[in-house]
Amino acid sequence: MSVENRAYENDVPVTSFSTTVGDDPYEEVQLGFEKADVESSVGSSQIPKPYAGMPKEILLHYSRRRHFVWARNILTGAVILTILILFSMVIALIAVSPACQYYWQTSPIYQVYPKSFRDSDNDGTGDLKGIQGKLDYFENLGVTTIWLNPVYKSPQKDNGYDIEDYRDIDPLFGTLQDMEDLINEMHNRGMKIIMDFVPNHSSDQHQWFNASSNPSHPDHETFKDYYIWVNSTNGTSAGTPNNWQSVFSDVETSAWEWNENRQQFYYHAFYKEQPDLNLRNPAVQQELKDIFSYWVDLGVDGFRCDAVGFILEATHLRDNPVVDPTKPLSYENVYPDYTENQMGIHDIVADWKVLLKKGSSEPGVYRFMETEVYDDVDVVTRYYGTEIVQEADLAMNFLFIDLGSGSQWTGTSVESTVLSWMRNMPSGRWPNWVIGNHDNSRVVTRLGEQKAKLAAVLTLTLSGTPGIYYGEEIGMINNLNVSDSDFRNPERTPMQWSAEVNAGFCSNCTPWLDVSDTHETAGLNVEDLSNANDQTSMLNLYKYLIQLRSDVTFLRGTLCMLYATDQMIAFVREMPGTESKLVLINFDLNKQARINLRDLFPNLPVSGSFVFSSLTGQSGEQVMFDSVDAEPGEAKVVQFKVGGNANLFNKQSNMADRCFTAKKVCVNVLGLLEVC
Give the integer Cα–Cα distance in Å for 673 and 676: 9
6 exposure class (CB count in 10 Å sphere: 0-12, 13-18, 19+):
exposed
Give the integer Cα–Cα distance in Å for 122 and 656: 57
Q: Where are the beta strands (DSSP E) in 446-557?
A: 465-469
3-class DSSP string for 637-669: EEEECCCCHHHCHHHCHHHCCCEECCCCEEECC
Helix crossing, 282-297 with 345-358: angle to 10°?
A: 30
Other CB atoms within a 10 A radius of the CB of residue 188 amount to 9
Enumerate residues 6+ apart whose C-beta is below 8 A from 24: none
Which residue of the set 127, 372, 551, 574 is catalytic? 372
484 is catalytic: no
The residue among 450, 395, 469, 477 whose CA lies nearest residue 630 is 450
39 is catalytic: no
Give the integer Cα–Cα distance in Å for 380 and 33: 87
Instruction: Spell out the alpha helix ranges (H) of 189-331.
Output: 207-213, 220-223, 282-297
How many whole angstroms from its chain centre is CA 91?
29
Other CB atoms within a 10 A radius of the CB of residue 359 amount to 18
The helix/strand/coil state of 492 is coil
Which residue of the set 57, 306, 370, 491 is catalytic? 306
What radius of gyration do the chain's Cα atoms show?
A: 36
Enumerate residues 6+ apart whose C-beta is below 8 A from 176: 168, 169
The helix/strand/coil state of 128 is helix
Residue 560: its H or E element = strand 558-564
Positions marked active-site: 306, 372
